[in-house]
Amino acid sequence: APVRKSRDSFGYDCTLRSVNSIKNALSYDCEGSSSDSDSGYSVCKSVPERMNLLGSFEESALKGRIQPFSVIDGFTADLGASGSFCPPHVRLAVATFYFSPYDDSPPLPYYGHCNLEQLGKRRYHIPARGNVQVTVFNPQGSVVKMFIVQYNLSDMPPYCQTFVRQRTYFMPYKATLDDVIAHRSWLRYLIHLRFCSSRSRKIYLHSDIRMLFSRKSELDAFNLNSVGGQNVEFGQQDSESYDLRSFTEMPENPRYSPRKLFFCGPEDK
């Protein structure tokens, strides 16, 4: 459901259907932060620079540049982490937006947004190295997607920030990451996590969690069509020749940046 930022909390607001109102609701004052993907950073060399899909559906949706067709209430996410310690799991509301596809194009993923201000001043403290797990549930309580993102921020200095983005593609077995550039429709899931460090170098998730995820019925139907011959240049036409593969990126040069004035964790004054 859409949320509007008030002085002390976020609550349901069915009027948030314009690009500007969504930007305000999603706290886009933080989006200018140099921790995000269009800030001039180069990403890790294992991911080509052209994977910064500026102007594409991916970036436009994540930045609130596309008018949503509708908003959907009732999605939730279970957030957890593991490593040197395991913080308690928390359940968060997910503001979910639906975009109408063009003509005969494949169904577009939903955009889900978890505002971490739901957690209050305690924030979400995680190990410096480990895994973040985010499980998305639909309004009926069924699992839509379980994201598991591995990270290592053990060298992160105090008062810094960075991000990790994981993309998952349904792609032919013989295809490579370079082939993904020419086949954007292979994207099925995405999660964008932002991290910050406190004065004592404790690591927290900060601001929000942004996700793209496909509805299972639409995903199954499109996968069947894809297997039917849309990617014959790879010589693969049966369902066993396709698989889901995930690729993770984070900034490089620099890997971390000084964080701006936002509340990171209980140590902040």
- List the chain domain ranges: 3-258
**In terms of pLDDT, which residue wins out, 63 or 88?**
88
What whole-number percentage of the chain has pLDDT above 70? 62
Task: Give the whole-angstrom CA distance, residue 155 versus residue 4.
Answer: 36
Most confident of the following: 64-68, 255-259, 262-266: 255-259
Contact indicator for 209, 113 with CB cutoff of 8 Å? yes
Tell me the pLDDT band of 121, cut-offs 50, 70 and 90: confident
* Per-residue confidence (pLDDT) for residue 255, from 0 to 100: 95
* Per-residue confidence (pLDDT) for residue 226, from 0 to 100: 52
Task: Give the whole-angstrom CA distance, residue 106 versus residue 186.
Answer: 10
Query: How far from chain centre, in Å, is Cα 62?
Result: 8
* Per-residue confidence (pLDDT) for residue 16, from 0 to 100: 45
What whole-number percentage of the chain has pLDDT above 90? 39
Per-residue pLDDT, averaged over 2-16, amounts to 38
Strands of the sheet containing 129-137, edge to edge, are 90-93, 76-83, 129-137, 143-152
- For the residues of 85-121, what is the DSSP string, one character each? S-PPPEEEE-EEEE-PPPTTPPPPPEEEEEEGGGGGG
Contact indicator for 208, 191 with CB cutoff of 8 Å? no
* Per-residue confidence (pLDDT) for residue 22, from 0 to 100: 55
* Per-residue confidence (pLDDT) for residue 9, from 0 to 100: 31
Gyration radius from the chain CA atoms = 18
